[in-house]
Amino acid sequence: MLLLRDVYGSAVLFNIEDHEVERHLEMVRRHASRFLTEMRKDNYTVKEHPLLIKDMQGGPHYIVLKALDIDSICIIEIVLGQSIALDYFVS
């Protein structure tokens, strides 16, 4: 499943093989380069663990979910997009 969505100046790619990431980012660069003064790339790991006691558990660069569904993916996408926008604003 490919989820590419522009959120607050960020592109969040979900379930993309490492060798395909650059191709997708090139598309973003081609269409958004005049709006972007700086481009950064970060990795964030999402894992599913059905036996997890809590609904989720996370850290600075990962999150483990009890169940991975489209709603969870959309929430993660929005939070990551806002975090990137906030980091950019602060810098």
Residue 9 pLDDT: 59
Q: How far is CA 51 from CA 54, 55, 64, in A?
A: 9, 10, 11
Domain range for residue 55? 3-90
Distance CA 20, CA 1 (A): 13
CA 21 vs. chain centroid, Å, equals 12
State the DSSP code for 4: E
Task: Determine contact, residues 88/38, Cβ cutoff 8 Å.
Answer: yes
Domain count, the chain: 1
**Successive 10-residue mean pLDDT values, the chain, 91 residues:** 49 80 84 70 83 87 88 80 75 71
Q: Are 10 and 81 in contact (CB under 8 A)?
A: yes
Q: What is the pTM of this model?
A: 0.56
